[in-house]
Amino acid sequence: MKKTAILVAAALMLLFGQVLPGQAASLVANISLSSQTMTVVQNGRIIHRWPVSTARRGYVTPRGSWQPTRMHRMWYSRKYDNSPMPYSVFYHGGYAIHGTNYVKRLGTPASHGCVRLHTANAATFYSLVQQAGRGNTRIVVTN
């Protein structure tokens, strides 16, 4: 009976995209606010390190650890003049990792709080999250 309950719980967690207790996420995006970089780790191995832009003065990029909540190949900001946000991976309310065409500021704080990266890199990250699954992905933002 106990074994059946564990199997059912595990199946439900996999079905709804949750990481099982004790299971490490297979894809991790580590965003460093101090270095303005995003390091992508897959199965414990660094596979990408990209410059990003996080919150500029007067705005905040929240620190913490989350799983992606939703993804959109193209999203338009409802809050900031319908700005395009290609390859958006939302992780905390309205905060997302997404592409930008404003690449000259990458590597420096420039956003309203989202994590911006080159659109080609955003497309790569979006694809990696799709492959790993939202439940097997962690987004970690640190100082």
Please report whether residue 117 resides in a domain.
yes
Task: For residue 135, tell me if it sits in a domain.
Answer: yes
| CA distance linking residue 25 with residue 136, whole number of Å | 5
Distance CA 23, CA 41 (A): 15
User: Domain range spanning residue 85?
Assistant: 24-142
Q: What is the pLDDT of residue 51?
A: 98
* DSSP string covering 13-56: HHHTTPPPTTPPPSEEEEEETTTTEEEEEETTEEEEEEE-B-B-
Do residues 58 and 113 make contact, with C-beta atoms less than 8 angstroms apart?
Answer: no
- DSSP SS3 for 142: strand
In-domain check, residue 65: yes
Residue 24: predicted pLDDT: 76
pLDDT on residue 19? 47
DSSP 9: H
CATH number of residue 100's parent domain: 2.40.440.10
Adjacent-strand bridge partners of 93: none
In a domain, 19, yes or no: no
Distance, first Cα to last Cα, the chain: 46
- Structure confidence by residue, pLDDT tens digits, 3-25: 544 444 444 343 334 444 445 78
* Prediction pTM value: 0.83
In a domain, 5, yes or no: no
What parts of the chain have a pLDDT lower than 50? 2, 4-22
CB 137 within 8 A of CB 41: no
Overall number of domains in the chain: 1
